[in-house]
Amino acid sequence: MPPTTSTLNQRIRHFYDASSGLWEQVWGEHMHHGYYEPGEKPKDRRQAQIDLIDKVIEWGQIGDPQPPESILDLGCGIGGSSLVLAQRFRAQVTGITLSPVQAKRAQERAAAAELSSQVQFQVADALSMPFESNTFDLVWSLESGEHMPDKQQFLAECYRVLRPGGQLMVVTWCHREGSLSPQEQRHLQRIYQIYCLPYVISLSQYVHLAEQLGFDRIRQADWSERVAPFWDEVIASAWDWRRIPAVLRSGWITLQAALGLGLMQRGYASGLVRFGLLSGYKPRQQLS
């Protein structure tokens, strides 16, 4: 049976409480994929992660024509995207995470960047957010949707807290289109277990859910080939002999994640694991 939401949330919180310090030490403040153009020469993996944020902003046409003034960063990690968005758009940004360790570290990083007046972080569940309806101009979710145990409720909460005319920008792990073989399902189950995921869906299923909820101007893109090289970089750095003691000190849950990196690498290579983008807007005129 799938885990209950409370049990899953506890696992996610524990996973990120245990691993975020190591991630920041080894890979930096951006806890997501990097972006690579076809044929691009090898580049610093942290730069690749910054490039991904820039490319998502560009693809989503965020800030065109009107920059967002109030942004919600769902699954904010230690504040990497939140600080970039705050600086880029001079916006007020609220980041939420299930991990108290992440929220505390994100607040420290905001203070160090002299952005405490613009950016705040708190522990909250994205499926039941402590915000009033019609609050944010932009809801940004960079690789957090895969953790959501109810994808429809996840998008419904995003819709609720968006102001009329506000934009949703979701970047998330997906599986390929069509029915999956038993072998593919087993492969995904192993990924779910290691990375505390309930399940993933296809990009077309996300689009269908967004349409059902009333989002308009929906766009989608698959960037799997652009991000797949990142796992080669992560694996090489994780098993650098200088990093192994830190991995071991972080405990079994982090070690298990390191041992499972190859599952993601092979998932991309086979076409099973996909990297999807979804953008949509809450209509300015609500149906009565």
**Along the 288 residues of the chain, how does pLDDT read in single tens digits?**
445 678 899 988 888 887 777 677 777 788 889 999 988 777 788 899 999 999 999 999 999 989 999 999 999 999 999 999 999 999 999 999 999 999 999 999 999 999 999 999 999 999 999 999 999 999 999 999 999 999 999 999 999 999 999 999 999 999 999 999 999 999 999 999 888 999 999 999 999 999 999 999 999 999 999 999 988 887 776 655 455 555 545 554 555 555 678 899 999 999 999 999 999 999 997 654
* Domain definitions of the chain by residue range: 5-281
Model pLDDT, residue 240: 54
pLDDT at 1: 42
CATH code: domain 5-281 is: 3.40.50.150
* The pLDDT value given to residue 118: 97
pTM, two decimals, is 0.90
Q: DSSP for the chain, please give it.
A: -PPPHHHHHHHHHHHHHHHHHHHHHHH-S--S-----TTPPP--HHHHHHHHHHHHHHHHTTTSSS--SEEEEET-TTSHHHHHHHHHHT-EEEEEES-HHHHHHHHHHHHHTT-TTTEEEEE--TTS-SS-SS-EEEEEEES-GGG-S-HHHHHHHHHHHEEEEEEEEEEEEEE-SSPPPHHHHHHHHHHHHHHT-S----HHHHHHHHHHHT-EEEEEEE-HHHHTHHHHHHHHHHT-TTTHHHHHHT-HHHHHHHHTHHHHHHHHHHT-EEEEEEEEE--SS---
